[in-house]
Amino acid sequence: MNNSNNKISKNVLIVSAPSGGGKSTIVGHLLKSFNIFDFSVSATSRAPRGSEVNGKEYFFLTQDEFKRRALNGDFVEYEEVYPGLFYGTLKSEVERIWGNNKVILFDIDVMGGMNLKKLYGEKSLSLFIAPPSLETLRERLIKRGTDTPEAIEKRVAKAEKEMQYSGNFDKILVNDDLQTALEEVEKIIKENF
Ligand code: 5GP
């Protein structure tokens, strides 16, 4: 969109946030609003939630299959995001999306986001979506209703640690009012792609 100057054109957008930061709403909005993007479908060893479909939100693999594919070198990166639950970016997804001349949109945890930024450097823009506060994050997770109180406390504790890495990202977006956050993110995309 904005390639008229001498800047290196970017073909990767990395979106990371502590869980409950409102990341999936923002990612969904970007996919609807900008046809330059295609979503990188990750592989995971967690079970499908609700209406999730294999191949759409994730490729759902058994832990054995995940490990086999990791040993086989099928991933660009992978992480044990929660104890015993693996998530990873498949090389085949990266090839598919670039093969279609699209910009890859990664929805990925904070560690994974930093690893991808190291890998793709100036060809990528990394965006950290921060909740306004840990208390707001806790309230959002309670409202979402997909986690037990114990799991929520674990996620909040993890988020507190992850917030410390926000400075390693190219842009930080505080998701307080959703409408404002969506407007801000659109502006960032228009300026950088
Ligand atoms: P959920 O289980 O809520 O869908 O995702 C949990 C976390 O895993 C989210 O922060 C999500 O962004 C992250 N995640 C999804 N795919 C990948 C991936 O391919 N690699 C890594 N490192 N994290 C991922």
Its pTM stands at 0.93
Q: In this structure, which residue's CA is closest to atom 20 in ligand 1?
A: 88
Number of Cα atoms under 13 Å in the Cβ half of residue 120 = 26
Average pLDDT of every residue of the chain:
93
Strand order in the sheet with 75-82: 58-60, 42-44, 85-90, 75-82
Six-digit token string for 172 = 């930080």
Range name among 71-75, 97-101, 135-139 with the lowest pLDDT average: 135-139
Q: What is the pLDDT of residues 158-186, one digit of tens each?
A: 999 999 999 999 999 999 999 999 999 99
Predicted confidence (pLDDT) at residue 110 exceeds the cutoff of 60: yes
Distance CA 94, CA 104 (A): 7
**Domains along the chain?**
12-192 (3.40.50.300)
Ligand 1 atom closest to residue 89's alpha carbon, by position in its atom list: 19
Give the pocket of ligand 1 (CB within 6 Å).
19, 42, 46, 77, 79, 81, 87-89, 107-109, 112
Q: Distance from the CA of 16 to the center of ligand 1, in angstroms?
A: 9
Tokens encoding 20: 């409950």
* Predicted local distance difference test score (pLDDT) of residue 3: 52
Closest residue (by CA) to atom 18 of ligand 1? 88
- How many residues are present in the chain? 193
Confidence of residue 191 (pLDDT cuts 50, 70, 90): very high
Please report which confidence band the pLDDT of residue 82 belongs to, taking 50, 70 and 90 as the band edges.
Answer: confident
